């Protein structure tokens, strides 16, 4: 949406002291959150999400000692920042059974509109949040500004990236945040962490709730939530590292109960519809995939690569489950067991259906991790770099070369091929895959067969942007540099960048910018645009612009 007037500039806020960003300041809700002091029922902030063309979900969770089992929470939604034109209002109970969280789905809204909302409870008023609805299905919006973020490990750093995102939203340059997983990390913090997780590893409902509360007390995260609606999916650390379906990393017999607690706490803390509240049965099973049409500009689909996946093959013997990095010849099942799935059959079909109609100019797929093939050692014919794939083209399918991490798409190559084949067969236009998880920025070309760079046999079907972590540490750049030589379809790979991806989508082009934090140990850190890429509508593949 481009019709949002630039907000009046505020004199205060963390942004005022940041070189190059002094003209941008944080919205009032950050100062409110900071001024509120310790015991405040809205100390965890407010959020909105799951927008449609006619509805949006408002969220908060009351904080405080010894809250009654049920607390009435009044909410209002207004058409203006001063709350003079109220559009909707109501009251909902914040129940102890839901950790005193509230999820208000407001129907009957106008499409493509900005709204402001706030809550009242226990004689206190929350900071205001700003949210928006999607354009009507038949509308042709000129642009969409959105961010892609993931992996905000609290004890690995501060969240200047979220301050930067909130500043862009305040300036009218961010409509939507896509958060692609690892919202919390379940670990105990090691000694010497930048800031420590409270308590031990999270395994119970109480533990997960406390971890979310610790993360949500961060004012920079609160600012980004209050600035615009979010669409959220999870990855592994919302539950446990590298889990797969109902299998824990160490094959714990009680893993289903842990997963149910984790899924429940995730729902409690995310701006998700009330109807998604999971039951405890079945490990808390819940449907989180979805789609949203931004008018005729873009179809956005988001999926779940955790809950329905087959377990990773060839795990480390000391763990029993979870990921490993293996040579294909030592784990041939990776290519030979072609029925293995990352999405589950039902979700695969659902995604393909979403691409059958494809009403948008752009087709965005938000998912958890790097989709591009990423071998850590040479495969035949590819060591020569781009254009050196002639030998690879003559190879038998199912060749056993390369060294791969089994938790990502490389652990499920047949499932990846099925997904990319749908894009090819249905000629889905302007497909863009968005991801996270690997704590590095990658830009890649996606082909049905990543080893075959013959454009006739294996055309480019999608452009991939895998965004780096907000704060979680990445691997050394030299490791990535060594691997890039074996993966010529990956055009950009930076593992020491922390931050997020910012996109502007128009009917003509997609502009992508890596927003990179200078010092993740500093909440006041500068954040800059480290690289920019463009994808022209009608052309697959990103072109670097600086
Ligand atoms: Fe992560
Ligand atoms: Ca992950």
- pLDDT over 80 (residue 24): no
Residue 397 has a pLDDT of 52
| pLDDT (average), residues 25-44 | 61
Write the CA distances from 12 to 4, 214, 302, 397, 477, integer angstroms.
22, 25, 37, 61, 37
Look at residue 536 in the predicted model and tell me its pLDDT.
Answer: 98
Above 50 in pLDDT, residue 380? Answer: yes
pLDDT of residue 36: 46
Portion of the chain with pLDDT greater than 70, in percent: 90
Query: What is the rounded average pLDDT of the residues 40-58?
Result: 97
The strand pairing partners of 505, in sequence order, are 144, 510
Q: In sequence order, what are the residues at sequence separation of 6 or more whose Cβ sits closer than 8 angstroms to the Cβ of residue 132?
A: 1, 51, 56, 112, 113, 114, 115, 175, 176, 228, 229
Domain 6-544: give its CATH architecture.
4-Layer Sandwich (3.60)
For 152, what's the count of Cα atoms within 13 Å in the CB-facing half-sphere? 24
Provide the pLDDT confidence category of residue 417 given band limits of 50, 70 and 90: very high
* Contact predicate 270/288, CB 8 Å: no
The 3-state secondary structure of 427-474 reads CCCCEEEEECCCCCEEEEEEECCCCCCCCCCCCEEEEEEECCCCCCCC
Select from 439, 515, 522 the least CA-distant residue to 475: 439
Stretch 319-342: mean pLDDT: 97
Residue 16 has pLDDT above 70, yes or no: no
Digit-coded pLDDT (tens) for 74-126: 999 999 999 999 999 999 999 999 999 999 999 999 999 999 999 999 999 99
Give pLDDT, residue 546: 85
Q: In what order do the strands lie in the sheet with 56-61?
A: 101-106, 56-61, 46-49, 230-232, 176-179, 143-149, 499-506, 509-517, 527-536, 543-544
| pLDDT for position 358 | 77
Confidence band of 280 (pLDDT split at 50, 70, 90): confident
Q: What is the mean pLDDT of the chain?
A: 91
Distance from the CA of 412 to the center of ligand 1, in angstroms? 19
Neighbours of 505 (CB within 10 A): 28
Distance CA 505, CA 511 (A): 6
- Euclidean distance between CA atoms 282 and 179, whole angstroms: 25
Q: Where are the alpha helices (DSSP H) in 87-230?
A: 160-170, 205-216, 219-227
Would residue 375 be called left, alpha or beta, if left means φ above 0 and alpha means ψ between -120 and 50 degrees?
beta
Contact yes or no for 57/276 (Cβ under 8 A): no
CB 461 within 8 A of CB 446: yes
Q: At what angle do helices 345-357 and 413-425 cross, to 10 degrees?
A: 20
Short-list 93, 204, 225, CA closest to 152: 225
Q: Place 453 in a pLDDT band, splitting at 50, 70 and 90.
A: confident
pLDDT in the model for residue 20: 31
Task: Measure the CA–CA gap between 520 and 472, rounded to whole angstroms.
Answer: 9
Question: Left if phi > 0, otherwise alpha if psi is -120 to 50, otherwise beta: which for 383?
Answer: alpha
State the distance from the centre of ligand 2 to the C-alpha of 389, rounded, in angstroms: 31
Distance 108 CA to ligand 1 centre (A): 37
Q: What is the pLDDT of residue 451?
A: 78
Ligand 2 is an ion; residues with CB less than 5 A from it: 182, 235-236, 437
Farthest CA pair distance, the chain:
73
What does the pLDDT look like over 192-239, one tens digit per residue? 999 999 999 999 999 999 999 999 999 999 999 999 999 999 999 999
Whether the predicted pLDDT of 28 surpasses 60: no
pLDDT for 39 = 58
Q: Where residue 19 falls among pLDDT bands split at 50, 70, 90?
A: very low
Name the residues around ion ligand 1, CB cutoff 5 A.
151, 182, 472
CB 313 within 8 A of CB 386: no
Look at residue 400 in the predicted model and tell me its pLDDT: 87
- Does position 255 have pLDDT exceeding 60, yes or no? yes
Give the distance (Å) from ligand 1 centre to CA of residue 472. Answer: 6
pLDDT computed for residue 230 by the predictor: 98
How far does CA 152 lie from the centroid of its chain?
Answer: 10
Q: Does 18 have pLDDT greater than 80? A: no
Ligand found nearest the CA of 183? 1
Confidence of residue 450 (pLDDT cuts 50, 70, 90): confident
Give 408 Cα–ligand 2 centroid separation in angstroms.
Answer: 9
Long-range contacts of 279-286 (CB under 8 A, 24+ apart): 282/256, 283/246, 283/255, 283/256, 283/257, 283/259, 284/259, 284/260
For the whole model, what pTM was predicted?
0.92
Among all bound ligands, the one having the nearest atom to the CA of 239 is: 2
End-to-end CA distance of the chain: 26
């Amino acid at each position: 949406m481009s019709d949002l007037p630039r907000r009046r500039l505020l004199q205060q806020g963390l942004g005022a002291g940041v070189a190059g960003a002094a003209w941008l300041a944080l919205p009032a809700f950050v100062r409110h959150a900071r001024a509120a002091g310790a015991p405040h029922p809205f100390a965890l902030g407010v959020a909105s999400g799951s927008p449609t063309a006619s509805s949006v979900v408002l969220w908060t969770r009351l904080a405080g000692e010894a809250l009654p089992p049920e607390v009435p929470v009044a909410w209002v939604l207004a058409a203006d920042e001063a709350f003079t034109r109220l559009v909707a209002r109501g009251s909902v109970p914040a129940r102890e059974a839901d950790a005193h969280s509230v999820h208000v789905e407001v129907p009957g809204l106008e499409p493509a509109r900005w709204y402001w909302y706030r809550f009242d409870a226990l004689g206190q008023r929350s900071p205001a949040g700003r949210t928006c609805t999607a354009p009507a299905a038949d509308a042709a919006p000129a642009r969409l500004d959105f961010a892609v973020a993931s992996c905000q490990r609290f004890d690995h750093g501060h969240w200047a990236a979220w301050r930067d995102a909130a500043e862009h939203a305040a300036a009218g340059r961010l409509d939507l945040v896509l958060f692609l997983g690892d919202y919390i990390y379940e670990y105990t913090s090691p000694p010497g962490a930048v800031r420590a997780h409270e308590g031990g590893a999270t395994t119970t409902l109480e533990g997960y709730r406390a971890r979310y509360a610790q993360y949500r007390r961060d004012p920079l995260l609160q600012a980004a939530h209050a600035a615009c609606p979010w669409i959220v999916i999870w990855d592994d650390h919302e539950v446990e590292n590298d889990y797969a379906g109902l299998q824990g990393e160490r094959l714990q017999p009680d893993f289903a109960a842990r997963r149910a607690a984790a899924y429940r706490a995730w729902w409690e803390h995310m701006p998700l519809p009330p109807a998604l509240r999971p039951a405890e049965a079945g490990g808390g099973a819940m449907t989180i995939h979805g789609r949203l049409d931004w008018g005729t500009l873009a179809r956005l689909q988001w999926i779940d690569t955790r809950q329905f996946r087959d377990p990773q093959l060839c795990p480390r013997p000391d763990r029993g489950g979870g990921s490993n990095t293996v040579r294909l010849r030592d784990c041939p099942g990776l290519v030979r067991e072609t029925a293995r799935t990352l999405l589950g059959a039902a979700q695969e079909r659902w995604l393909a259906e979403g691409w059958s109609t494809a009403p948008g100019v752009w087709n965005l797929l938000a998912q958890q991790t790097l989709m591009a093939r990423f071998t850590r050692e040479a495969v035949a014919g590819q060591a020569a770099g781009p254009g050196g794939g002639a030998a690879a083209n003559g190879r038998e399918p199912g060749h056993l070369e390369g060294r791969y991490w089994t938790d990502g798409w490389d652990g499920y190559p047949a499932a990846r091929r099925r997904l990319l084949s749908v894009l090819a067969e249905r000629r889905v236009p302007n497909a863009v895959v968005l991801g996270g998880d690997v704590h590095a920025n990658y830009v890649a070309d996606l082909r049905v067969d990543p080893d075959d760079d013959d454009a006739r046999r294996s055309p480019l079907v999608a452009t991939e942007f895998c965004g780096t972590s907000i704060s979680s540490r990445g691997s050394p750049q030299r490791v990535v540099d060594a691997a890039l030589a074996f993966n010529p379809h990956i055009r950009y790979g930076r593992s020491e960048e922390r931050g997020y991806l910012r996109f502007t989508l128009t009917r003509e082009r997609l502009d992508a910018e890596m927003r990179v934090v200078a010092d993740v140990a500093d909440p006041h850190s500068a954040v800059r645009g480290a690289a920019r890429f463009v994808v022209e509508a009608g052309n697959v593949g990103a072109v670097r612009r600086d």
